[in-house]
A and B are shown apart, each in its own frame.
Chain A
Amino acid sequence: GESVGLHLPTLSVQEGDNSIINCAYSNSASDYFIWYKQESGKGPQFIIDIRSNMDKRQGQRVTVLLNKTVKHLSLQIAATQPGDSAVYFCAENGGGGNTPLVFGKGTRLSVIA
């Protein structure tokens, strides 16, 4: 079946550096993507989303890039802080409608102080 996956399972960065987390998706019908942050023992927390009619969207310290040609999604975190340490998941809404999200495998981000 079609799936969403991540290139890197773990990522360690120095505090203050920028972080880039990547995600590949395979469902060409997907038109909405979200990045979630999950801290230990908690539910996923929304970070930023992007629809397929856009290729870039910026939030506070975060930027999501979407490349539909190669079905690739990335999350960029500027000036990474210790509080950013968590597992990050990309998710897709395969084609629209009130359908569940399909989650990628997740990347653990560790910030080194």
Chain B
Amino acid sequence: GAVVSQHPSRVICKSGTSVKIECRSLDFQATTMFWYRQFPKKSLMLMATSNEGSKATYEQGVEKDKFLINHASLTLSTLTVTSAHPEDSSFYICSARAGDLTGELFFGEGSRLTVL
């Protein structure tokens, strides 16, 4: 199947700093990528839809100025958590479709963010 890669897999940062997470589609092009957030023992919650060459679409309740999304190329989307706080600590997962745009979403391995 298609491969989606995330980096870093784990990151620890101090409060007030910014952290960038990269999501790459390794063997396909993705005009759209989706960013999810997952708290411990909870399900995946959609944060935003990342659109190549245009602004991301954020879900209700997600602060766009805090979670900056950039989709500069067909294989890379980045999520930057700005001025991170401990409550931003979570598991962030990106996903994309390859080929069949109504079908399976391929997920990255996730990035675990811990804000001290």
Q: Which residues of B contact A49 (CB under 8 A)?
A: 103-104
| Among A41, A42, A43, A97, contact of B101 (Cβ-Cβ < 8 Å) | A97
Q: How far is the CB of B113 from chain A (nearest CB, A)?
A: 13
B-binding segment of A12-20, A54-62, A77-85, A99-107: A99-107
Determine if B25 is an interface residue (Cβ-Cβ < 8 Å).
no
Label chain A's interface by main secondary structure: loop
- A34-B104, A46-B106, A103-B43 in contact; A98/B32 too (CB < 8 A)? yes
Q: How far is the CB of A91 from chain B (nearest CB, A)?
A: 8
Whether B102 contacts A96 by the Cβ 8 Å rule is yes
Whether B102 contacts A101 by the Cβ 8 Å rule is no
Q: How far is the CB of A110 from chain B (nearest CB, A)?
A: 14
Q: How far is the CB of A79 from chain B (nearest CB, A)?
A: 24
| Among A41, A93, A96, A105, contact of B110 (Cβ-Cβ < 8 Å) | A41
Which residues, 44 to 101 on B, are CB-close (under 8 Å) to A?
A: 44-46, 49, 91, 93, 95, 97, 101
Count, chain A residues at interface, CB 8 A: 23
Whether B97 contacts A98 by the Cβ 8 Å rule is yes
Q: Which residues of B contact A42 (CB under 8 A)?
A: 109-110
Whether A43 contacts B107 by the Cβ 8 Å rule is yes
Q: How far is the CB of B112 from chain A (nearest CB, A)?
A: 7
A100, B37: Cα distance in complex, Å: 13
Determine if A25 is an interface residue (Cβ-Cβ < 8 Å).
no
Q: Which residues of B contact A44 (CB under 8 A)?
A: 44, 93, 107
The proximity string for B residues 12-23 relative to A, scoring 1 for CB distances below 8 Å and 0 otherwise, is 000000000000
A6, B33: Cα distance in complex, Å: 26
